[in-house]
Amino acid sequence: MQEKIDQYTAEINAFSPANADELEVFRIKFLGTKGLIKDLFEEFKAVGPEEKRVFGKVLNQFKQMAEAKYAELKDGLDSGLKAQDLSLDLTLPGDGFEVGSRHPLSLVRNEIIDIFKRLGFVVAEGPEIEDDWHNFSALNFPQEHPARDMQDTFFIRKGDGSDDIALRTHTSSVQVRMMENGKPPFRAIMPGRVYRNEAISARAHCFFHQVEGLYVDENVSFSDLKQTLFHFVQELYGEGTKVRFRPSYFPFTEPSAEMDISCTICKGDGCNMCKYTGWVEILGCGMVDPNVLENCGIDSKKYTGFAFGMGIERITNLKYVIRDLRLFSENDVRFLKQFQTDII
């Protein structure tokens, strides 16, 4: 019996498995239910009392040694296998990851907001689904008046057949909400998405983005309007950019004007962008019509105000010369990545 124990001990100590299969063969051979250690314990039952005293201890120690060896080999094999499976090369560089960039329209909108914030304007927002009152009636568009056709509206027909709900056609609706719910003075800009029923092409889209502005207080005059917008243009397009005002018509302002700036591309020499006139139109503006003030519960004898509205897409085009409006909504990262120079 001692002989066998010595022989097995030597075999166990020398054993070094190359893989899990070899270790399993080892386990079955020595530690299995029909293994050699089990046999030794069977043999042990048959020996005399004298030998039992000697071998009891020896046999148990041998069994523990075999089990410990198995556990140790299994551990070693497991961790070895893990490293092998992953085939880790710790010197490999990590995977790069893409940093997103801001949409050019957001960049320009934020720039516009910043300029007006420095002049004391706050930002106001309102719903994109509007009722007739806020989008039209309060703004002096009489029912059935052709002025409503200036803006091709997406009406939303309700269950009862009425259609006084629409996608807002301009953010002037936010001006109405602001004046209805507060007291003058007001000095705010309203950025937001607006909708018009136009066929999608390089030059038109069924939605676009606006920033409108409103300033209502005592003694606000057209010269305040001119100077505010002149300052805005100098900030956005650089000192020396010229402006000119042309008479125009909007139901909600009187007098009304459109403002042109000297072409940002050719600096007034004439190019494709300004159709060789040297000027490009960037916004509509005017003094808030007294009817609009009254519609919103503001005393038009005491208060006057100016308002203006511009399309962010147009302003962005003049900054970056983007020839096709559709690029703004396609979200092609190759386009979007070209605008942000700093990572915020």
Note the Cα 246 to chain centre separation in Å: 39
Contacts of ligand PHE in 191-220 (CB under 6 A): 212
Q: Which residue is nearest to ligand PHE (CB)?
A: 309
Q: How do 186-195 and 122-123 pair as beta strands?
A: parallel
Which is nearer to ligand PHE, 23 or 293 (by Cβ)?
A: 293
Position 250 contacts ligand PHE (CB under 6 A): yes
**Smaller CB distance to ligand PHE: residue 279 or 308?**
308
Cis peptide before 255 (omega within 30 of 0): yes
Work out how close the CB of 310 gets to ligand PHE at its nearest, in angstroms, rounded to a whole number.
8
Minimum gap (Å) between residue 171 Cβ and ligand PHE: 7
Q: Binding to ligand PHE by residue 135, rule CB under 6 A?
A: no
Give the nearer residue to ligand PHE in terms of CB position, either 12 or 310.
310
Judged by CB under 6 A, does residue 309 bind ligand PHE? yes
Which region among 97-105, 108-116, 180-188, 304-312 touches ligand PHE (by CB under 6 A)?
A: 304-312
- Position among 176, 188, 307, 318 found at the interface with ligand PHE (CB under 6 A): 307
Count Cα atoms within 13 angstroms, Cβ side, for 260. 15
Structure tokens at 103: 């949409």
Let me know: does 262 contact 278? Beta carbons within 8 Å: yes
Tokens found for residue 185: 């003075």
Subset of residues 260 to 299 that bind ligand PHE, contact rule: CB under 6 A = 284-286
Q: How far is the CB of 313 from ligand PHE (least distance, A)?
A: 13
Peptide bond into 93 cis (omega under 30): no
The neighbour count for residue 136, using CB atoms within 10 Å, is 28
> Binding of ligand PHE at residue 172 (CB under 6 A)?
yes
The one-character DSSP state at 248 is E
Q: How far apart are CA 217 and CA 253, in angstroms?
A: 15
Would you say 175 and 214 are in contact if contact means Cβ atoms under 8 Å apart? Answer: yes
Interface pick for ligand PHE out of 101, 173, 253, 317 (rule CB under 6 A): 253
Q: Enumerate binding residues for ligand PHE (CB under 6 A).
A: 170, 172, 212, 250, 253, 284-286, 307-309
